[in-house]
Amino acid sequence: MAVRESGYTLSAASRRPFEEAVARVKDELRSEGFGVLCEIDVQATLREKLGAEVEPYLILGACNPPLAHASLAAEPELGVLLPCNVVVYEREGTVHVSAVDAERMRSIVGNDALADTAATVRRKLALVVERAAG
């Protein structure tokens, strides 16, 4: 699957069922040195809090400790943009995998010391999206 870029994400549609795509994303994150710090089941939360029925939507808060450490050393307030979120969601029968584009987020911060780390995070997350969706 080809990875598409939006203004702030790297995304791909998947032919996998939702749960399989989630498992694959977690595996691919691990292979790129990321751990999943948190999972937010948006579908369950909206059902519980609002009684709303929406399609499956899961947010995975991913962290690569060495890259996070380097980033925070260069820009302490960067923590407001961490962890790196990856989402798996279903819309009209199609499962999608999307990750934050770290280079786009770096442009918000404006700290050139983050350029190499942001490029590395972007490359790794693009691989995660591509392999998990494919």
CATH (domain of 72): 3.30.310.70
Q: Which residues span the domain enclosing 37?
A: 4-133
% residues pLDDT > 90 (the chain): 93
Q: Is the pLDDT confidence value at 1 over 80? A: no
Structure confidence by residue, pLDDT tens digits, 51-87: 999 999 999 999 999 999 999 999 999 999 999 999 9
Residue 81 burial (CB < 10 Å; 0-12/13-18/19+)?
A: middle
Number of domains in the chain: 1
Average pLDDT, the chain: 96
Compute the average pLDDT of residues 17-37.
Answer: 98
Q: Is the pLDDT confidence value at 105 over 70? A: yes
> Shortest CA distance to 29 belongs to which of 134, 127, 133?
127
pTM over 0.85: yes
